[in-house]
A and B are shown apart, each in its own frame.
Chain A
């Protein structure tokens, strides 16, 4: 049994917060909700009475985040693709860039199975190595690598076909 004191949890959280936040943003397409989700996640882990039983805290954070994103995405699915507003207000330019990119990336990744999508997003957005991803999704590294490969391969073929 590993003991996770509050200082340790805070430290891991500080290190991972940017990656967790970005991953949540591109999972659910809403930066405000993503921020809330990450903040809630921290409080939940800190208040979890069983937190000492968690073997790998970092993996646990990512697993919990992915699960939370799935439920949010399901409940809000009908309202996700909001058409872009052309009247961009000054300090909102970031969000506009984000929504465009979110829509492109989501549409591209929709073509591949969810487990391949998770591996790819943990890698390109969460900046996790394949070994770390294996811990998070609970499969051998070889499986993670082949999911990445099949996912990329499928998208590559589609992009090539569209070009022709």
Chain B
């Protein structure tokens, strides 16, 4: 590639969908174009807004079923097959030739892991294909990019972090997690070790992610490409479906059914991770599902973003101390299967009688919920799906909308609370 070609195609370096590996290769070898690219990044950064806007609450006349089931269902049978295949594969001894690129990758990830363990603070802008309303644990290939900001800081033995998307925020002060939305009165305090931010838990512990990649590079059948320049090292890892239980992708069962490509850019002088990109390869087409925009190791930025908890502006509900439930009822609730719980809870929501399922709806505004699902009828539960990275389970249910349409909805339930009862965690 010539420098002129590179400049003509500079836009591709900023695209969300296509990444030209030849472009990365060129800047790893050409100082002029690398500087040109850096200047373009500065321009794009300069005109990209960073102010936090309070997203207004838009009202929609008609409610909708939020989760589409098409993709997970489509790959469910493949998932079952893959599990069986994995059981048999365990018997045979697998041998992977460690080529030089795999060794170099091991070294690069090892260096980064070491460097990240010394980093006290960082912040990052992470674009994820998901839905603005959903929790922090959901990637949807068909959804648009939603911007997330993450700031992490270490203080003594405590890891403090803060994550925001739109008006939804979660802050961990090392002892508890605080979760709120700007325009919603109810806010929640959870135990510090409960995983409520899903994939972002991996990004908070980015050194561990590097450890994982290092281990994979030592032993896996991944394919590695390395481009090097004076100061940048770009590592591209390609994994065949199911070969790589990547800690981010494995949180979604259906994503591990695709081949994937993970790109990491390191700063050679400091060994730090500068950029990362996760692509899913679907029918030969590369689709970015997660991309970091700016990983910033500036101390002040990280600190400033980590500490604002609006303690006086919300009605804080402390989930660390649990609500009281009558002993008989508690026994009944603890013995429910997820399907039974989901059926009972949805029946009470659709029947405009949310008070009979209040223990399960602690995270929700029950009046709003009853309003959203007015006129829906429950046909029944179809099946239960377990996903490796998720602490709860998903229950697939069939409902009839007020316009008499059959819809499939998936709700997330979890019982890893002190009372051990099923609670709705998402999907409604």
Contact = CB atoms under 8 A, between A and B. Distances in A.
Interface of A: 5-8, 10-11, 13-19, 21-22, 25-26, 31, 35, 38-39, 42-43, 46, 94, 97-98, 100-102, 105, 108-109, 120, 123-125, 127-131, 144-146, 148-149, 152, 155-156, 159-160
Contacts of B132: 14-15, 17-18
Given A10-B64, A152-B44, A129 B16 contact: yes
Contacts of B1: none
B60 A149 contact: no
A145 B40 CA distance: 14
B283 interface: no
Interface of B: 7-12, 14-18, 39-40, 42-44, 46-56, 58-66, 68, 127, 131-133, 143-147, 166, 401, 403, 405, 407
A127 B64 contact: no
Nearest to A148: B11
Nearest to A19: B144
A156 B43 contact: yes
Given A14-B133, A129-B17, 7 more contacts: A6-B403, A11-B64, A100-B51, A105-B49, A149-B11, A152-B10, A155-B47
Nearest to B39: A156
Contact of B60 (A13, A15, A97, A101): A13
B131 A14 contact: yes
A131 B47 contact: no
Contacts of B7: 149
Given A15-B144, A129-B15, A129-B16, A10 B60 contact: yes
B53 A6 contact: no
Given A14-B60, A17-B58, A152-B10, A128 B47 contact: no
Contacts of B401: 7
Contacts of A21: 53, 55-56
A120 B49 CA distance: 12
B11 A125 contact: no
A124 B62 contact: no
What are the 8 closest A-B residue pairs judged by CB atoms, nearest first? A145-B11, A97-B51, A127-B145, A35-B56, A129-B16, A6-B62, A10-B64, A7-B64
A130 B145 CA distance: 13
A10 B50 contact: no
A7 B407 contact: yes
Contacts of A129: 15-17
Contacts of A127: 16, 127, 144-147
A26 B49 CA distance: 8
A15 B59 contact: no
B51 A146 contact: no
Contact of A101 (B49, B59, B407): B49
Contacts of A10: 60-64
A16 B17 contact: no
Contacts of B44: 124, 152
A155 B60 contact: no
A39 B60 CA distance: 9
A149 B9 CA distance: 8
B60 A94 contact: no
